[in-house]
Amino acid sequence: MCSCVTQEENNMALVPYVENCSPLLSKLHSASAQFEFNSHRVTVSQDWRRHGVAAVLWDAAVVLSVYMEQGGELTLKGKRVIELGAGTGLAGIVAALLGAEVTVTDRASALDLLSTNVKSNLPPGCQGSATVSELTWGQGLDRYPAGGFDLVLGADIVYLEDTFVALLQTLEHLCSDATAVLLACKIRYERDTRFLELLKERFRVEEVHYDQQRDIHIYKAWKLPEPRAEL
């Protein structure tokens, strides 16, 4: 269990170590981004040239991390958490530092960078709190326990319409009726709204936070109970 971070009231803030106000292209080509997390520096490496969007730290991951750290999900200590499409892994790293047992996932091509970030940012006492694992949505889901997580995280993973069905299938598999899903999204296109409408067919969804500066929404969702069969 991670014991390296104490949750002191009103003293929990994930703040960019260097203020991140640079243009998009500058962010894409920067080799790393640094943050200070409750006096613990987190340095996230990125590599746009080799791995594209999966290896870039997007604002949604930052906003989601801030939300978790400031108590948006109460305490994560001892919770079973899985992050989907983790990319650089910031949200999963923060969840582990907050005491969760985290499975950090992405496609196979993204795992080298993801593993490096997770390992380099967790102190020795936290190394066992996060596991990096390959997960392509809709495939090989039996490798993950059905309904086996307390919290599912996703930061800026809603952008390719072709993946929506597989993403919904994955969420349904991972969630029990008690599982919470946190999706941090920038609503760029009409298709992003369509995904939320699809999600509402299977989950109860509400917006719990909006970061106006970064234009990031955080949606919380719970799986709807299966309808009872009529006798």
Q: What's the pTM?
A: 0.84
Could you give the C-alpha distances from 231 to 224, 225, 228, in angstroms and in order?
21, 18, 9
- Can you give the residue ranges of every domain in the chain? 53-223
**pLDDT tens per residue, range 164-177:** 999 999 999 999 99
User: Strands 216-223 and 180-185: what pairing?
Assistant: antiparallel
d(CA 143, CA 149): 13
Backbone angles phi, psi at 211, to 5 degrees: -95, 105
**pLDDT tens per residue, range 70-81:** 887 778 999 999
Q: What is the pLDDT of residue 210?
A: 96
In this predicted structure, the answer to whether residue 19 has a pLDDT above a threshold of 80 is no
53-223: which CATH topology? Rossmann fold (3.40.50)
